[in-house]
Amino acid sequence: MRYDFDTLIDRKGTNSVKYDLSGKFFGTKDVLPMWVADMDFPVAGFILEAIEERLKHPFLGYTFRSAGFSESVASWLERRHKWSISTHAIGFSPGIVPALNMAVMEFTDPGDRVVVQPPVYFPFFSAISNHGRELVYNQLVRKNERYEMDLDHLEGLFREGVKLFFLCNPHNPVGRAWSKKELEQLAALCLKYQVLVISDEIHSDLLLFGNRHIPFASLGEDIADLTLTCMAPSKTFNLAGLYTSVVIATNPGIKKRYEKILDVVHVGGDNILGQVALEAAYTDGDEWLDQLLAYLEKNYKNFCSFLNDAVPELLISPLESTYLAWLDFSFLQLDDETLRNFIIHKAGLGLNDGPMFGPGGAQHQRLNIACPEKILMEGAGRLVEAIRKA
Ligand SMILES: Cc1ncc(COP(=O)(O)O)c(C=O)c1O
């Protein structure tokens, strides 16, 4: 079956953060919203049908997860990532950010040091600092156009004492799909210093241009013993509003402690429709996802070729994964406040401002390419026109 990613469906008036909160966030409604990381593609028909089927029964009371939840996750991981795990290792979270927060609460004490690698998804910072833990940066380094981890600096931090490490695999916003070699080097350091890893793999299904996702915990039993992995169908199938995510720990001790904090916070219950959607997505979603990935690749190529021709000075990080393009505007030589205003008021675009992503984010903007090609090229056109007039 051929799925349609070209038709634009109006999302305004649906309480969409991306559309209906643009005015509040950017100070004007007059922007093309290309910020929040959800997609302007409708949820696939087979997922909507599964939800509709469940709604034929007129009760939405407390439920528990069926065996099908973990079974569909395990089967998906085996099929898509060649990662075989027991269904006993699979748990739940009502979103990845809550899982990050709970992990910090359970596995660290106030004052403990937790490492993140900016520029990175900004809720990583608050998940650490909001709980009185010390946020420690291991800033990514850019070699040519590609970002890498600074493993020497990281080892120095580990040597000084670190309790927990937040890995973003693949990495939002720089679009890296970490290679096996890079992850093995990282794993060796975590093992040497016995640092627990929270591996946020929410973008793991969105691998582009022949890149492969390597689940960090799949590298070996020893590193799996030190890892809590977070995954979800929310980015892949555009289901973020259903708050249904997956937490995996093959180490029974870590799993038990995670389940404990889930219980303490009392968020381990189920979202009925989220469960149904997850099972449908992970059971029948391969074909839809393959077509989505092909569409995203086409979008990214067209976007880059248009911008590279028109504004070769604008650096676009190579996109190995995610649908988030990371753009370097330093050639404009504007301070961050002026750049932000330029993007909003001169280009008429609602993007994510680089400094939100912490050190290394200055002079950058993040632009979501998961929209119909027409909209993406409209956004690219606005950018070029504004830059030409600048
Ligand atoms: C790396 C990363 N983690 C987590 C999230 C959000 O997860 P959730 O909505 O499940 O809390 C995002 C959303 O963009 C993300 O990019």
How many angstroms separate the alpha carbon of residue 16 from the centre of ligand 1?
16
Among 97, 122, 356, name the best residue to mutate to test ligand 1's pocket (greatest count of ligand atoms within 8 A of Cβ). 97
Among 34, 38, 96, name the best residue to mutate to test ligand 1's pocket (greatest count of ligand atoms within 8 A of Cβ). 96
CB-based contacts of 96: which residues, under 8 Å, 6+ apart?
A: 200, 202, 230, 232, 234, 245
Res 47: pLDDT: 98
117-126 mean pLDDT: 98
Vertex 232: Cα angle to 272 and 204 (nearest 5): 160
How many angstroms separate the alpha carbon of residue 229 from the centre of ligand 1?
13
Q: Does the pLDDT of residue 270 top 90, yes or no?
A: no
Residues 236 and 270 in one domain: yes
Domain boundary among 241, 266, 284: 284
Residues 234 and 348 in one domain: no
Residues 272 and 300 in one domain: no
Residues 198 and 242 in one domain: yes
- Amino acid, single-letter form, for residue 365: Q
pLDDT in tens, 71-121: 999 999 999 999 999 999 999 999 999 999 999 999 999 999 999 999 999
How many angstroms separate the alpha carbon of residue 387 from the centre of ligand 1?
31
User: Residue with structure tokens 């599964």?
Assistant: 50
Res 144: pLDDT: 85
197 in any annotated domain: yes
Q: What's the CATH code of the domain at 30? A: 3.90.1150.10
The angle, 0 to 180 degrees and rounded to 10, between the axes of the packed helices 272-284 and 45-55 is: 140
The three-class DSSP label of residue 178 is coil
User: Which ligand 1 atom lies nearest to the CA of residue 97?
Assistant: 11
> Average model confidence (pLDDT) for the chain?
97
Residues 358 and 340 in one domain: yes
Residues 308 and 385 in one domain: yes
How many angstroms separate the alpha carbon of residue 58 from the centre of ligand 1?
32
Q: Does the pLDDT of residue 272 top 90, yes or no?
A: yes
1 in any annotated domain: no
196 in any annotated domain: yes
Owning domain of residue 342 = 17-43+286-389
Domain boundary among 221, 254, 284: 284
215 in any annotated domain: yes
pLDDT in tens, 279-334: 999 999 999 999 999 999 999 999 999 999 999 999 999 999 999 999 999 999 99
- Amino acid, single-letter form, for residue 128: I
Among 93, 172, 368, name the best residue to mutate to test ligand 1's pocket (greatest count of ligand atoms within 8 A of Cβ). 172
Residues 230 and 81 in one domain: yes
How many angstroms separate the alpha carbon of residue 57 from the centre of ligand 1?
31
How many angstroms separate the alpha carbon of residue 388 from the centre of ligand 1?
34
Question: Considering only CA atoms, which residue is closest to atom 9 of ligand 1?
Answer: 95
CB-based contacts of 157: which residues, under 8 Å, 6+ apart?
A: 113, 115, 136, 138
220-238 mean pLDDT: 98
206-223 mean pLDDT: 98
31 in any annotated domain: yes
Residues 232 and 87 in one domain: yes
Q: Does the pLDDT of residue 215 top 90, yes or no?
A: yes
Instruction: Evaluate if pTM is beyond 0.95.
Output: yes
How many angstroms separate the alpha carbon of residue 65 from the centre of ligand 1?
22
Give the separation between CA 297 and CA 208, rounded to whole angstroms. Answer: 6
pLDDT in tens, 349-376: 999 999 999 999 999 999 999 999 999 9
* Percent helix / strand / coil, the chain, rounded to 5: 45, 15, 40
Using CB distances shorter than 6 Å, the residues near ligand 1 are 37, 95-97, 121, 168, 172, 200, 202, 232, 234, 240, 245
2 in any annotated domain: no
Contact assessment for residue 134 and residue 111, using Cβ atoms and an 8 Å cutoff: yes
Residues 347 and 263 in one domain: no
Q: What's the CATH code of the domain at 95? A: 3.40.640.10
How many angstroms separate the alpha carbon of residue 202 from the centre of ligand 1?
6
3 in any annotated domain: no
Domain boundary among 263, 284, 305: 284
Residues 304 and 235 in one domain: no
Confidence category of residue 134, pLDDT binned at 50, 70, 90: very high
CB-based contacts of 146: which residues, under 8 Å, 6+ apart?
A: 176, 317, 318
41-51 mean pLDDT: 98
Contact assessment for residue 91 and residue 229, using Cβ atoms and an 8 Å cutoff: no
The three-class DSSP label of residue 364 is strand
pLDDT in tens, 174-200: 999 999 999 999 999 999 999 999 999
Structure tokens at 10: 């109006």
DSSP annotation of 268: -
Total tally of structural domains belonging to the chain: 2
Residues 216 and 229 in one domain: yes
9 in any annotated domain: no
Question: Considering only CA atoms, which residue is closest to atom 7 of ligand 1?
Answer: 96
In angstroms, the Cα distances linking 88 to 78, 107, 249, 271 are: 15, 20, 9, 20
Res 1: pLDDT: 87
Residues 178 and 71 in one domain: yes
